[in-house]
Structure 1
């Protein structure tokens, strides 16, 4: 029996799904690299914990930028590491690997993903578009002639697509996503509070008090960082209303892209989307108020998939089997 593996190769995180076992790995897409010896020191969570705590010769690399490979050699090693970790030494059989890519990738970028998966030990490689994988992972039957709209907000890209009969009818892939939300919070706090904070703190703010729509009750949290003027440590209080202001430019871009895809959608499928609603997936979909904001601007019921961070990995891993059963009857 062949081993089917699905890899959600993301800018921020990599998830590995093994058929029959589910999502068994979710780790940061980070590699710690020693410049003196040209060797990789650590992958994933271990590499992330080394950030800012290592000698100058060890640097942390994110081998993917905006959902595509920016460092081929390091990506190949990272895929190999995650596959070995997922499968262990229980089998000598090469796995069949499905890897998802953003819907806007070029043929060259897609080829790079395929080659990296083969070099990492795959027997067969299938490339799946991210929105299609997200729809399958969310439990949507995409083989029927009905329009389904998926908005997958990852770390490096936001993929928006209308899917019908197993294919993409209208789509957009924008290089604005979760990482940009963190950057926007960092810039806002620097400009409004003269406070320098790191990526981890920005992400913490986004998760704890971040919002894109007015909350019933405003929330606040204390944030520690370095004063830009004095260079000394400083603590400020950040509110959910401030995060709404900080994130407005990014969330507006996402909503405008959703509207642009809706404008390209054939009328019959538009009617289906009005009935079925818009489905949000990916880590960025967990940002509070996003459902309400999209619903207010589009007039279409919007909801977030269950376990939105896992659906792309699940859909990628199940893609081959689901599509085979749908289309070979």
Structure 2
């Protein structure tokens, strides 16, 4: 059940967006929406919304905590599957924005499933309710530096930083980026991995943020080698991570580029990674003038279509 899905315009829009995005997700490494329903008798009286998914016995966080240590082959396999699912998501024009071990489901046969699209957005689609993401308390260890460097301007590269942090988590059993009380301290932790922004990135920053780096006169942005932290990671794994944990999102690996890395040479399946070209239209998501009643009607209509399709499939 979604929490208070229709209590105001932003929550109603979020609920509709999550439903619409989930309906477009059809991939072995993405959670499958089986059904969506409400207990209401009509759109106007609708207050609740339920999603039904395939059963997942555990998530990546629980899987790791149950193990003493993950072998690199498991790390590689899980990472490859995450990237396959993520490539599909991104080629549909969607940014997940909340990738973390809790949101990586694991089936009994060790298949990865990306779950929880509650914070997802269409690529480069900024909404008024995006401010809630900046204050969201559970993603800080895995969210990308763009939350400080380019507030509100997130694209698909945001998710690739999160994947890098998840890979490090699989090796370490804990977060590479330590939890901090504010965004500035969080950025300082990230800069220990990436080093200070170079001239190319500085030129892209707003004057206020650029001044923060240009006025720096101490060693707080000293870069450490990933090999110092991830002592069990192979050279190929570290090379792949070097492409994910890049401060400048424009120079960070895409999911497609990461999948082409030699680290995955023995897993590469060209058929599984063909382009989907299934861009989700964004007109209905970006309607800033829609009322709660408008969103109720859209959700109701969508649920009705789901039920009609399901009924026809069983006739």
Normalised TM-score (structure 2): 0.28
Query: Which structure carries more strand by proportion?
Result: 1
Query: Which structure carries more helix by proportion?
Result: 2
Bigger RCO of structures 1 and 2 (CA < 8 A, at least 6 apart): 2
